[in-house]
């Protein structure tokens, strides 16, 4: 019996090895000069920023195009109806947009292999009563038209006849989540991964009832004449599973749900006292024409002055530089604190120099920081949008009103470079300004203490017990 068992195991292992080492399966014919991938904007799907393109679907599409040995063209759409129509009309080759596998979609498209799984969850706002079942809902649910959430609600209504909902065609999923946080609507439905990502920016979001569990997120292919593409996608998926690429992307985009920390004043003051002394001379040396405290504040926002900081999106070091940016400015080791600071200073200076002369000197740093965060092109889109709204495109106070509009389809579909997380850029710049004000305040306190000591007076206050002042006249409150 033992001999037979050993023989069976040996045959199984050898068969498995044959499957892994097979050189190339027989494919149906495929004629592609490029891979046209239809997508939607979203941080876990596809987005562009100052750090380059990112998103689970984007990264995987890049790898699939390389596998096919053809160039990749990402084609973002602003709603699902147009996206689905484009695939049916052969305007694109595949849909990669965080789409879940549903019975209705199986009737219309060919379904690719599973990429990761999500739950469909009811989303509400902090402070609202926690709904324990559908009957506890006090108002309508608002969802996106043509989404899988409509199918879910339709099925639920069979058991809960009083269930009602609104379908919107002019909003994105992120816009609905923002409307929850802003008390504009009470309930929506979202994929669990989207809620986790957006809670980092909208902390008042709460996940409630799980309406559907473990839904596969998939790519969609045309229903006809897609045998060749499907066979290659299956082979590619098998390869990426074996090499761990899919697991790596899952960890990169969904394994770190708290990418940003909210640091209170005491924590920042402690960092100034305990961490900054190690790097202050580097900031002062490499700041050039920049105020070293603005450079230091930027670095704190980026990495909390951690030279070994690493982001899931691939940026590294004290100034969280991308690899292409580091190469462009001559930085060989992004994890070396001094190189990173020197590189960050050079990159920020370049951003400032690229800005139009019409932007006042006192505000150029804030425009440059927004560019550092989401990209110069998106800032230019916002400036043009501000001008069209009869706002001042050269004033930060006006631009910060416009940047969040780059997340709204009504506005970004009219811009040249499309969707951007403009509200994140506003938060990013305002945080750096507050850190800068604190550094200036602490610097002044230190100088005053030195003066008092020289004059024989003793300091009467402990800086750790005092709130930092807002020193600049237009500092964010």
Catalytic residues: 302
Phi (first) and psi of residue 393, to 5 degrees: -70, -10
SS3 76: strand
Could you give the CA distance from residue 428 to residue 432 in angstroms, rounded to a whole number? 6
CA distances from 204 to 124, 183, 196, 395 (A): 9, 10, 12, 30
DSSP code of 467? P
Under a CB-based contact definition with an 8 Å cutoff, are residues 334 and 323 in contact? Answer: yes
DSSP code of 133? S
Under a CB-based contact definition with an 8 Å cutoff, are residues 72 and 33 in contact? Answer: no
- How many other CB atoms sit within 10 Å of the CB of residue 391? 17
Could you give the CA distance from residue 39 to residue 47 in angstroms, rounded to a whole number? 10
Could you give the CA distance from residue 67 to residue 41 in angstroms, rounded to a whole number? 24
Question: Cα 454 from chain centroid?
Answer: 51
Sequence-ordered alpha helix ranges (H) in 287-395:
292-303, 323-328, 337-354, 364-374, 376-388
CA distances from 225 to 81, 87, 88, 95 (A): 21, 12, 11, 15
Residues in contact with 205: Cβ distance below 8 Å, sequence separation at least 6, in sequence order: 123, 125, 126, 177, 180, 181, 195, 198, 199
What is the DSSP annotation of 139-163? Answer: S-EEEETTSHHHHHHHHHHTT-TT-
- How many other CB atoms sit within 10 Å of the CB of residue 354? 13
> Could you tell me the sign of the dihedral formed by the alpha carbons of 270, 272, 275, 277, in that order?
negative
Give the H/E segment covering residue 27: none
What is the DSSP annotation of 353-369? Answer: HHS-TTS-GGGHHHHHH
- End-to-end CA distance of the chain, in Å? 78
Could you give the CA distance from residue 116 to residue 194 in angstroms, rounded to a whole number? 13
Q: Establish how many alpha carbons lie within 13 A of residue 25's alpha carbon, considering only the half-sphere containing its beta carbon.
A: 15
Of residues 151, 145, 211, the one with CA closest to residue 176: 145
């Amino acid at each position: 019996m033992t001999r037979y068992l050993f023989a069976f195991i040996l045959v199984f292992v050898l068969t498995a090895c044959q499957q892994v080492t097979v050189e190339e399966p027989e494919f149906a014919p495929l004629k592609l000069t490029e891979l046209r991938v239809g997508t939607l904007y979203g941080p876990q799907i596809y987005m562009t920023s100052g750090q380059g393109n990112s998103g689970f679907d984007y990264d995987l599409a890049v790898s699939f195009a390389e596998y096919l040995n053809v160039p990749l063209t990402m084609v973002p759409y602003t709603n699902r109806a147009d996206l689905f129509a484009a695939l049916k009309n052969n305007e694109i080759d595949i849909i990669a947009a965080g789409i879940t596998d549903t019975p209705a979609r199986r009737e219309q498209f060919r379904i690719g292999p599973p990429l990761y799984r999500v739950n469909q969850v009811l989303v509400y706002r902090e402070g609202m009563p926690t709904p324990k079942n559908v009957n506890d809902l006090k108002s309508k649910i608002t969802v996106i038209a043509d989404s899988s959430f409509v199918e879910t609600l339709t099925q639920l209504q069979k058991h809960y006849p009083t269930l009602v909902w609104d379908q919107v065609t002019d909003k994105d999923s992120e816009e609905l989540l923002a409307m929850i946080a802003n008390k504009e609507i009470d309930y929506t439905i979202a994929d669990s991964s989207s809620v986790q990502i957006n809670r980092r920016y909208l902390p008042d979001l709460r996940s409630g009832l799980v309406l559907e569990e473990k839904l596969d997120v998939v790519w969609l292919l045309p229903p006809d004449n897609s045998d060749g593409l499907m066979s290659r996608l299956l082979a590619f998926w098998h390869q990426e599973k074996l090499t761990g690429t899919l697991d790596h992307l899952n960890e990169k985009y969904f394994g770190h749900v708290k990418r940003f920390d909210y640091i209170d004043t005491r924590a920042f003051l402690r960092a100034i006292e305990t961490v900054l002394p190690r790097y202050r001379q580097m900031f002062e040396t490499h700041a050039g024409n920049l105020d070293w405290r603005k450079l230091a504040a930027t670095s704190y926002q980026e990495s909390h002055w951690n030279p070994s900081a690493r982001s899931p999106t691939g940026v590294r070091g004290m100034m969280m530089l991308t690899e292409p940016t580091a190469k462009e400015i001559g930085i060989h080791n992004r994890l070396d604190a001094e190189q990173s600071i020197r590189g960050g200073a050079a990159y920020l200076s370049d951003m400032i120099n690229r800005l139009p002369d019409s932007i006042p000197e006192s505000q150029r740093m804030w425009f440059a920081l927004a560019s550092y965060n989401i990209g110069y092109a998106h800032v230019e889109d916002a400036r043009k949008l501000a001008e069209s709204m009869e706002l001042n495109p050269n004033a930060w106070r006006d631009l910060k009103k416009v940047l969040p509009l780059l997340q709204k389809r009504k506005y970004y579909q009219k811009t040249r470079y499309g969707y951007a997380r403009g509200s994140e850029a506003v938060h990013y710049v305002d945080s750096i300004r507050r850190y800068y004000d604190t550094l200036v305040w602490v610097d002044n306190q230190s100088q005053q203490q030195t003066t008092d000591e020289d004059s024989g007076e003793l300091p009467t206050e402990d800086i750790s017990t005092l709130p930092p002042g807002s020193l600049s006249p237009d500092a964010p409150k």
